[in-house]
Amino acid sequence: MTAPSIDMISWKQQLILYRLAEMGAYRRTIKVSTQFLAEKISFSQQTASRYLIELEKIGWIKRSITAEGCLITLTDTGKTQLKNLYLKLKALIEAAYPLSVTLEGVAFSGLGEGAYYIKQDGYRKQFIEKLGFDPYPGTLNVRVTSDYDKKTRQELDNYPAIEIEGFKNESRTFGPVKCYPALINNKARGALILAFRTHYDSSVLEIIAPHYLRNQLKIRDGQKVKMEIFTMP
């Protein structure tokens, strides 16, 4: 649902943690001198020492200093850290689809028809359950123009999505809908909807979100909108 990502600041620490794990600290308590670690990571003894202090401070390793070197074990937090990195790489490499794609287009005003659909309880309940938010009654319409974005939009049809089931009420039938969690303008959570009806072609994107995006992100007609779409592998 939210963007998976790894913090720049902690990446280096993750690599040091990995090197310690590689030396056995993932499963055992290892004895290692700062000098030895320094050679392994191609840095100075002083820097190796500093890294160990930092890793202990953030709680990724447990360290006790002896006359022959440091005794080091990964903490549960440290192990989780490596495990998460592993799982993210696994998803990235073994998934059949990209984890996310970005789309870009220009905001425009539609007929306000989206609101009618969103308000339907048959849809709304499923949005809350499957997307995790109660959508603002209205859609942000975005028209994609560039060839790249049109192509990307079409590829999306093949990627796995969250399925919203169709339903009937007393007066009519509502069809099933696919949607993808999205991050709009790198800030606001929402979802891309494919597609309530047929009178827009596939160059139009309809976005729902928990808040009124035009206010939240100060979007006006004609402005560029960028979004990151997350697939569901």
Partner DNA sequence: ATTACTACTCACCGAGTAA
Partner DNA sequence: TTTACTCGGTGAGTAGTAA
**Which tokens hold the place of 2?**
């939210």
Cα separation, 51 vs 41, whole angstroms: 11
Nearer to a copy of itself, 117 or 159 (CB): 159
Site string for a copy of itself, 106-145 (x = CB under 8 A): ----------------------------------------
From residue 91, how far is each of 85, 131, 202 by CA, in Å?
10, 21, 28
CA angle 37–38–39, rounded 5-degree value: 90
Q: Are 131 and 181 in contact (CB under 8 A)?
A: yes
Q: Does 86 bind a copy of itself (CB under 8 A)?
A: yes
Site for DNA in 16-75 (CB under 7 A): 32-35, 43-47, 49-50, 52-53, 65, 67-70
Helices 8-20, 76-94: inter-axial angle, 10-degree rounding: 110
Fill in the amino acid letter for 104: E
Selection from DNA, a copy of itself, none that 82 binds (CB < 5 to 8 A by kind) is a copy of itself
Tell me: does residue 198 bind a copy of itself (CB under 8 A). no
**In the window 24-83, what residues touch a copy of itself (CB under 8 A)?**
24, 26-28, 30-32, 36, 39-43, 68, 71, 82-83
**Tokens linked to 232:** 């569901």
Q: Which is nearer to a copy of itself, 37 or 140 (CB)?
A: 37
70 binds, among DNA, a copy of itself, none (CB under 5 to 8 A by kind): DNA
